[in-house]
């Protein structure tokens, strides 16, 4: 008989945490849209991780605590706002925070990472979460181990579990066949076991899915070795070709900026004469292209900084001067993009896509300023972490802004709009838009009032699952309930709203 090793003990505890995570995930996270369930699930996962760290006497890295708090705050964010795109960004940030926290438990220092390290951690954490449970079961846990003398309770538990796993699909198949063949037998199963083959399969899938992800992530943080970042070997080469390429890029950006300045000073008349477009169409046609061009500049500059770092001090100084000039010209390009978006919104209205694209541009502005402050001053090691913090700051700013309510208020204050207020789109936004819509009802025309009233009543009258509870959704339900009579009376008889 073999004694239980420390790795086996930790592996068994992770497996137990994974099973608990599967049950919690199946119970909470199957209800949509996500709200309180994400906050509770995140708290449970962090509590399980903290307990396992303490039991295993592991000393995590210095960044683990604030990353755990960040993950907790991102989970709680689902309880506050109700905007679908914002929830998607919150989920991406939550996944990243959990991955970086697991890496910090391994002892890594997140604040000292390069961009390659962040990519490496994200990829390895994802792979470990998906496939780590297989390594946990087949390699980390020694199933021959015994906790004491006599028969191995571990072996007995393993045999019992294997029997259950073998029997479950067989029981489901034969029970479904018998239930289909005999209605009386089906009624017996439904009355005694509340049998539903489809629901059993769904619950089994979600328990395995969330359990495997939980166990895989915990295993990566507690047992797996940190994966070393790939070394980017520097190949000595002359910086001259890169300086020439950078100079030509500066020339192209300068030409574009000169053209844009003509349009800025010439106004709508010059745009219509030279381009054959209205000013609104001109504004609409270029924002996303300019945003893409601005985003592509960053990897280009990072690559040039890496490739030219072996040059002589005068050569490096020349490259950095050309880079600084490109950043100045890029500032005009981004200003042109933001001005186009302003004109675009004035004419056609604000949407979620336009709002989040503008937020991305604001993020890029901060990143390029940080790039100039760090990389151009020879301190590239600080760039990646500062860019990450700016991303979290923009995400927090969006929460403070309240995107859906901001969209409604912006679209209501466009007196000279090409496209009038879109009541259907406004009512299709999240719960955060409901208070602003209800306040604006007296200012809308009859058709828009009817459209808003019918959509709000259809969407916010039915009771919600407690797992999806969200402060904004709860407020929307309450406001619509309080004004239900007025909303029903908004539309003419027989149109829009059922009595």
Give me the residues paired with residue 3 across strands.
Answer: 146
Q: What is the pLDDT of residue 390?
A: 97
Once rounded to an integer, what is the mean pLDDT over residues 10-33? 92
Distance of CA 359 to the CA centre of its chain: 15
Asked if residue 472 has pLDDT above 90, the reply is: yes
Mean pLDDT of the chain: 85
Asked if residue 227 has pLDDT above 70, the reply is: no
Asked if residue 369 has pLDDT above 60, the reply is: yes
Once rounded to an integer, what is the mean pLDDT over residues 361-377? 96
Work out the pLDDT band at 284, boundaries 50, 70, 90: low
Work out the pLDDT band at 346, boundaries 50, 70, 90: confident
Asked if residue 453 has pLDDT above 90, the reply is: yes
CA angle 183, 184, 189 (to 5 degrees): 95
Residue with the bigger pLDDT between 4 and 115: it is 115
Asked if residue 364 has pLDDT above 50, the reply is: yes
Backbone φ and ψ of 146, nearest 5°: -125, 140
Which tokens sit at 324?
Answer: 């600084």
Residue with the bigger pLDDT between 80 and 312: it is 80
Percent of the chain, pLDDT > 90?
Answer: 54
Closest residue by Cα to residue 68 from 97, 105, 44: 97
The 10s digit of each residue's pLDDT in 24-53 is 999 999 999 999 999 999 999 999 999 999
Percent of the chain, pLDDT > 70?
Answer: 83
The residues spanned by each domain of the chain are 2-143+155-222, 240-401, 406-488
Number of Cβ within 10 Å of residue 333's Cβ equals 19
The 10s digit of each residue's pLDDT in 57-74 is 889 999 999 999 999 999
Q: What is the pLDDT of residue 7?
A: 82
CA 56, CA 341: separation in Å to the nearest integer? 54
Q: What is the pLDDT of residue 276?
A: 55
Q: Which of 233-242, 278-287, 343-352, 383-392 shows the highest mean pLDDT?
A: 383-392
CA distances from residue 469 to 33, 90, 211, 336, 458 in whole angstroms, order as listed: 9, 17, 23, 42, 18
Q: What is the pLDDT of residue 1?
A: 43
Q: What is the pLDDT of residue 424?
A: 93
The 10s digit of each residue's pLDDT in 101-114 is 999 999 899 999 98
The 10s digit of each residue's pLDDT in 190-225 is 676 655 666 777 888 888 899 999 999 999 999 887
Q: What is the pLDDT of residue 373?
A: 96
Once rounded to an integer, what is the mean pLDDT over residues 268-280? 54
Work out the pLDDT band at 18, boundaries 50, 70, 90: very high
Q: What is the pLDDT of residue 265?
A: 46
Q: What is the pLDDT of residue 103?
A: 93
The 10s digit of each residue's pLDDT in 391-416 is 999 999 999 999 999 999 999 988 66
Asked if residue 8 has pLDDT above 90, the reply is: no
Work out the pLDDT band at 157, boundaries 50, 70, 90: low
Residue with the bigger pLDDT between 138 and 262: it is 138
């Amino acid at each position: 008989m073999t004694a239980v090793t420390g790795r086996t003990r930790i592996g068994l505890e992770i497996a137990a945490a994974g099973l608990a995570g599967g049950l919690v995930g199946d119970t909470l996270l199957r209800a949509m849209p996500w709200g309180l369930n994400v906050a509770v699930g995140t708290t449970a996962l962090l509590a399980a991780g903290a307990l396992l760290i303490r039991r295993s006497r592991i000393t995590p890295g210095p960044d683990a605590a604030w990353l755990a708090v960040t993950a907790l705050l991102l989970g709680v964010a689902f309880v506050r706002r109700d905007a679908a795109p914002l929830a998607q960004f919150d989920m991406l940030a939550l996944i990243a925070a959990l991955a970086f926290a697991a890496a910090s438990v391994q002892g890594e220092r997140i604040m000292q990472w390069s961009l390659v390290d962040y990519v490496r951690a994200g990829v390895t954490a994802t792979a470990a979460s998906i496939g780590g449970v297989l390594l946990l079961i087949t390699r980390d846990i020694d199933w021959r181990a015994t906790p004491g003398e006599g028969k191995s309770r571990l072996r007995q538990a393993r045999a019992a579990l294997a029997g259950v796993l073998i029997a479950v699909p067989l029981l489901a198949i034969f029970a479904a066949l018998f239930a289909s063949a005999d209605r009386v037998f089906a009624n017996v199963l439904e009355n005694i076991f509340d049998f539903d083959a489809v629901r059993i399969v769904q619950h089994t899938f979600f328990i395995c899915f969330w359990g495997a992800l939980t166990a895989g992530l915990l295993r990566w943080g507690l047992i797996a070795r940190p994966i070393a970042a790939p070394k980017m070997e520097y190949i000595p080469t002359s910086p001259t070709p890169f300086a020439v390429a950078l100079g030509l890029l500066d020339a192209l950006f300068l030409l574009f900026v000169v053209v844009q300045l003509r349009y800025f000073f010439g106004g709508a008349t010059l745009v219509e004469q030279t381009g054959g477009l209205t000013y609104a169409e001109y504004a609409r046609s270029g924002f996303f292209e300019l945003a893409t061009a601005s985003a592509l500049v960053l990897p280009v500059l990072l690559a040039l900084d890496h490739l030219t770092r072996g040059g002589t001090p005068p050569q490096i100084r020349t490259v950095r001067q050309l880079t600084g000039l490109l950043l100045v010209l890029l500032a005009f390009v981004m200003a042109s993009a933001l001005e186009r978006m302003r004109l675009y919104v004035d004419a056609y209205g604000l949407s979620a896509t336009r709002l989040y694209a503008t937020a991305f541009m604001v993020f890029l502005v901060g990143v390029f300023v940080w790039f100039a402050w760090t990389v151009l001053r020879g301190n590239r090691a600080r760039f990646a972490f500062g860019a990450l913090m700016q991303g979290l700051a923009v995400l927090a700013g969006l929460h403070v802004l309240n995107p859906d309510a901001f969209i409604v208020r912006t679209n209501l204050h466009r007196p000279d709009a090409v496209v009038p207020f879109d009541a259907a789109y406004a009512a299709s936004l999240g719960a955060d838009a409901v208070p602003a819509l209800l306040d604006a009802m007296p200012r809308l025309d009859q058709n828009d009032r009817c459209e808003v009233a019918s959509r709000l009543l259809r969407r916010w009258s039915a009771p919600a699952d407690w797992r999806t509870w969200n402060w904004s959704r709860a407020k929307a339900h309450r406001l619509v309930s309080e004004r239900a009579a007025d909303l029903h009376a908004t539309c003419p008889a027989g149109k829009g709203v059922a009595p």
